[in-house]
Amino acid sequence: MDSRRRVPRTDLVLADPRLAATVGRLGRAVVKDAVAHAQRRARQGEIAPEEVADAAVAALPPYAASMRPVLNMTGVLLHTNLGRAPLSAAAVSAAVSAAGSADVEFDLATGARARRGRGAVEALARAVPAAEDVHVVNNNAAALVLVATALAAGREIVVSRGELVEIGDGFRIPDLLVSTGARLHEVGTTNRTSHADYAAAVGPETGFVLKVHPSNFRIEGFTGAVEVAELRDLGVPVVADIGSGLLAHEPLLPGEPDAAGALKAGADLVTASGDKLLGGPQAGLLLGRRDLVERCRRHPLARALRVDKLTLAALEATLRGPATPVHEALHADPAALGRRAEALAGELAGAGVDARAVPSEAAVGGGGAPGVRLPSAAVSLPERFTVPLRTGEPPVVGRVEGGRLLLDLRALPPDRDGDVVRAVLRARG
């Protein structure tokens, strides 16, 4: 009898408990495609007909979306290409709870409409008491666009030439600002700008003065810049784009501006990111004078830039909840990291892998704290492990230096060390 006639029908294969249980997680179409692929393999003689169900189960993707969780061992705490800040367990739980119907814009006590995301807004206001009012949009670029549109469309934004920065993927601050209909009035030079430069530029057409923190580079040598506190006498609003999302001073990052400090220094508005040093979801934070925040909130563009319920829930839990993974990584004890590296390298070496514990240096990343190096520790492996680890399950991403793959531990939670050992042993082949 032709073995192809023994290939089981689709409905019979789908009835396999392993496949039936997966339909709710991945969807019937995905599971059915895996079954059809296994049936084709059986008809072509690649597998036996009785192996169809097993092959279909093996072919199922591990996740419902193509985006895969990654173990970040690059030594960059806020790796933009790996999604920046990992969310805390509290933030993940809050987002899951909000995934169904939720009172995002509804008052359960009165049955009337309520302010959208009021819990997140209240938590942000409480975190930065120096701000008279706050608003949340979908990222920091959106916050800056909203401010420029609401306060300076058809008018001028005065900004130092040394702060017209370009960040990742060719994104340039001046292009963003001009797209709002505002005109840029550049002052000073690339390396030096004085108070007199700003004062000479401010006039009836000025919407605001903008201070942009050059978060992803440093200019050294013959330089000069004007601090926010020195600009408060110009008679126009001062907007400070601090970028990294630090809400209060962080002793480990003395050169990194924070929202509270900028407001106390005299900034009328501050814009920042939620998914960087704050350690929350992607969001743009707008904090400062009540009248200016209200102008931004009431502008028609604000509707297009608003965040969804999952972001609001995760942001509130980040602000109210326990220390975030970013905070834990930033404050990790270098000695403890060294002990972890020794333990991991010892376990791998005992299994026959050329693994060594080595000192390392980590960085904040995400455009934050340029030039700040954080002492760390890493497991050093032969470079040939790079691709197998990166394409394994879970993917482990490190960095290559001097012909060796370094798996830096500072951004990796200690409870994932066992996953790293298992991933390396699988990648060994």
Q: What is the pLDDT of residues 379-423, one digit of tens each?
A: 999 999 999 999 999 999 999 999 999 999 999 999 999 999 999
Distance of CA 373 to the CA centre of its chain: 20
What is the rounded radius of gyration, in angstroms, for the C-alpha atoms of the chain? 26
Task: Find the mean pLDDT for residues 204-215.
Answer: 90
Residue 170 has pLDDT above 80, yes or no: no
Over residues 331-351, the pLDDT tens digits come to 999 999 999 999 999 999 999
92-139 residue pLDDT tens: 999 999 999 999 999 999 999 999 999 999 999 999 999 999 999 999
Q: Strand order of the sheet with strand 399-401?
A: 76-78, 356-365, 374-382, 404-408, 399-401
This prediction has a pTM of 0.90
Residues 144 and 176 sit within 8 Å (Cβ to Cβ): yes
The yes-or-no verdict on residue 6 having pLDDT over 90 is no
pLDDT at 217 over 70: no
Does 373 score more than 60 pLDDT?
yes
Q: Which pLDDT value is given to residue 65?
A: 83
Query: Which listed CATH number (3.40.640.10, 1.10.20.10, 1.10.10.10, 3.30.200.20) goes with 89-321?
Result: 3.40.640.10
pLDDT-based confidence at 166, cuts 50/70/90? confident
- Of the CA atoms within 13 Å of residue 110, those in its CB half-sphere come to 7
Give the model's confidence band at 182: pLDDT under 50 very low, under 70 low, under 90 confident, else very high.
Answer: very high
Q: How confident is the model at residue 184 (pLDDT cuts 50, 70, 90)?
A: very high
Cα angle 36, 41, 43 (rounded to 5 degrees) comes to: 95
Residue 219 has pLDDT above 90, yes or no: no
Q: How far apart are CA 154 and CA 146, in angstroms?
A: 14
| 67-80 average pLDDT score | 95
- Residue holding tokens 């490190």? 398
Percent of the chain surpassing pLDDT 70: 97
- pLDDT above 90 (res 172): no
Window from 71-75, 188-192, 261-265 with minimum mean pLDDT: 188-192
pLDDT at 237 over 80: yes
Non-local (6+) Cβ contacts of 294 within 8 A are: 133
Would you state the pLDDT for residue 163?
Answer: 87
Residue 1 scores a pLDDT above 60: no
Considering the four listed CATH numbers 3.90.1150.180, 3.40.50.150, 1.10.260.40, 3.40.190.10, the one that applies to the domain covering 71-82+328-427 is 3.90.1150.180
Given this model, what pLDDT does residue 244 score? 83
Per-residue pLDDT band at 218 (split at 50, 70, 90)? low
For the chain, the domains span 3-59, 71-82+328-427, 89-321
